A and B are shown apart, each in its own frame.
Chain A
Amino acid sequence: MLELVFILPILTGIMASFLPVQLGRGVLVVSALLHLQITAMGWFGTLDLASTSYFKTAPEGMLVLLVTSFIFLFISIYAVSYMKETEMDNEPIFIGCMLFFLAAMSMVALADHLIVLWIAIEATTLVSAPLIFLNRSKAALEATWKYVLICSVGIALALLGSFFITLSMDLGNVHVPLTFSSLTAVAGQLDHVWLKAGFIFVIIGYGTKMGLAPMHTWLPDAHSQAPSPASALLSGALLNCAFLGVYKVHILMHAAGMGDYSSNVLIVFGLLSMVVAGIFILNQPDYKRMLAYSSIENMGIIAFGVGVGGLATYGAMLHLIHHSLIKSSLFLSAGNILLGYGTKLVNKIGGMARLFPKTFGTFFAGFAGISGFPPFGIFISELLIIIGAFRSERYVSVSIFIFSLILIFAGASRIVMRMSFASTDQKVLVEEKMMRVVPSFVLLLTSLALCVWLPDQLYQTIINAISVIGGTVNG
């Protein structure tokens, strides 16, 4: 009954919506712990799916599930302290929606059926909308409206794409269940024109959700307006889930012998996202928006890595893990800063190193990590992607790739330096607390630890996930 991984959060979510606040917080953390346990049992094979007609434990899905479950645990611990501090009006709704969100994302990770995957991804949009809307300010209202409308339209196009893939099956006279695993097995017989059309619509649809430029416009608004724990979850977990949808169709294209085409599309979208993120990050007045643009950049890197193939695919998968860990840690630190200074504007913030030494530590280390400095995993993953791109002789693309990385580093470092060291006469509104610092530290440390020691099973799962599209570690 690995299905428990999404059934459990639904049940506890319903429960938490009706419980008093104190109990609800406990339910949140306990559910997160249980979820991680069920995920771990799934990983070690002690718990299996009850029915395989709609769901399957694909290696890429298990990877996303593990990352989601892991960061959710620490975000939930942070959220408990965050909720105490901010005295939220709608705490039961917040806790309930967080859990529903977890359920929807777990469902995405396990989904094998084309339309079930669509249902789950659309569900993630719907249950996360109340999270963004929580502050009820005019800006939050605008962000939610954009989020729901743009993502719904995008995902509707993905549904159209899924229908096209179904059509390609009908035209090829293939009669198998509409699941990715069975379709991949018979991919050669599918009608190629319609499969291609399906891929285009799916990448536009799920790409909207993943934050690929030029469909990214909702992302900076939503990520900056949501309460910080929700932003961390949106950035660290939701984007991966959307990527999973794109990746599964990419595998299908590869199996059908059109891998080159889909790879090129992924590379173009990836590079475009990186360049757009680089341009908008340069003079960014708002640090949460800066982090949001950095997420767009990183999703671009992952798309690029998968598109390049070979060694770069391995890099992309590593990047997915490390980006989730570091970015969610950064958003949690940003939450502390927002509580402490009461503003999202970079210009009004200074002297973080003096006023908030611990938060400064996590924020600065996170910044170093996300920019690709050595002790953290992103250094390795970006290096692997660059080497992979050189090996496949994509010199123009790799120059754009490196140029965008430099651009983003330049933009972000100016902001982080200012926030950390500039002189200020600001007063501290809310002191930092251990419970709100430790989760960010642990997430960063995990990224650090995974560089030194990658567990064998994790390594094997990554290899299994990428070998179907020709990704290897040996170049």
Chain B
Amino acid sequence: MIQLSDAILAVVLLSVLLSLGSNRLMALVKIMALQGIMVSLTPLFLEHHQNLEGGAMLLFQVMILIKGLLIPGLLFMAVKKVSIKREIVPIVGYHASIFIGLMLILLSAFITDRLHLSMPKDHALLLISAITTLGAGLFLMMSRRKAITQVIGYLTMENGIYLIGTALAKQTHTMYVVEFGVLLDLLVAIMIMGIILHNINSAFDDVDTALLGQLKD
């Protein structure tokens, strides 16, 4: 079981690096679907979450559906509608981005090491990948111009926070109502961003956030 959770986390890390290095938006959406599924599967293979009840199983199913299917589906439609294929001139180039991603992994390993948490021993990799995902999400939001890539960055960041939550909190999965609320908020957030995205596209003929610069002091 433990090796399986490590394998899943490795896939999450890879998906983060891939998302940093890919310039095709369709590929990005597919990567996000993979990442969403992997992230929602992670808690199932962790030791302290073994005793799952019916409610928890249901929650995980809903979660996989939302993170792996519904949200990528919404993004997919958004990419189709705005009819752009790729991020043209990112603020930070792709090779540099991947390099920064690798640095983030090192940094996260360093942070995890310094935290001296009295955690179950197999959690080191979990925390490393969680912090990396969070950092990469933030980086993606800052280093890309297209609005849709920023949404994807936000999603990556949320995945990272969710992983940190599973890594740190032992009691997270006792209140399904609460978990479900968080998930619902995320879903609505992506939907609203999608709607604005569509409107940015029709108002400016592009989804470049550099065009959003009228309001300032």
Specify the main secondary structure of chain A where it touches its partner.
helix
Q: Which residues from A are CB-within-8-Å of B203?
A: 138, 141
A131 to chain B, nearest CB (A): 12
Known: A129-B192, A178-B171. A123 touches B185 (CB 8 A): yes
Q: Please tell me if B199 contacts chain A, counting CB pairs below 8 Å.
A: yes
Query: Are the CB atoms of A144 and B168 closer together than 8 Å?
Result: no
Point out the residue from A133, A138, A149, A159 that lies within 8 Å of B204, measured CB to CB. A138
Q: Please tell me if B58 contacts chain A, counting CB pairs below 8 Å.
A: no
A169 and B178 alpha carbons, distance in the complex (Å):
18
A129 and B193 alpha carbons, distance in the complex (Å):
10
Query: Are the CB atoms of A145 and B161 closer together than 8 Å?
Result: no
Query: Are the CB atoms of A115 and B181 closer together than 8 Å?
Result: yes
Q: Mark A152-168, 1 if CB is under 8 A from B, else 0.
A: 11001001100110110
Q: Please tell me if A221 contacts chain B, counting CB pairs below 8 Å.
A: yes
Q: Which residues from B are CB-within-8-Å of A289?
A: 217
A206 and B154 alpha carbons, distance in the complex (Å):
17
A288 to chain B, nearest CB (A): 11
Q: Mark B39-50, 1 if CB is under 8 A from A, else 0.
A: 000000000000
Q: Please tell me if B141 contacts chain A, counting CB pairs below 8 Å.
A: yes
B183 to chain A, nearest CB (A): 10
Q: Please tell me if A170 contacts chain B, counting CB pairs below 8 Å.
A: yes
Point out the residue from B154, B168, B171, B184 that lies within 8 Å of A152, measured CB to CB. B154
Query: Are the CB atoms of A126 and B189 closer together than 8 Å?
Result: yes
Q: Mark A301-344, 1 if CB is under 8 A from B, else 0.
A: 00000000000000000000000000000000000000000000
Of B76-84, B85-93, B208-216, the one touching chain A: B208-216
Chain A positions within 8 Å of B, measured between CB atoms, are: 54, 113, 115-116, 118-119, 122-123, 125-126, 129-130, 133, 136, 138-139, 141-146, 148-149, 152-153, 156, 159-160, 163-164, 166-167, 169-171, 178, 220-221, 224-225, 280, 284, 289
Q: With A54-B178, A116-B181 given, name 7 new contacts (CB 8 A).
A: A119-B182, A122-B189, A129-B196, A139-B215, A142-B214, A152-B189, A289-B217
Can you list 9 A-B pairs, Cβ within 8 angstroms, ordered by A? A116-B181, A119-B184, A126-B189, A144-B196, A153-B138, A159-B161, A163-B165, A166-B171, A170-B170
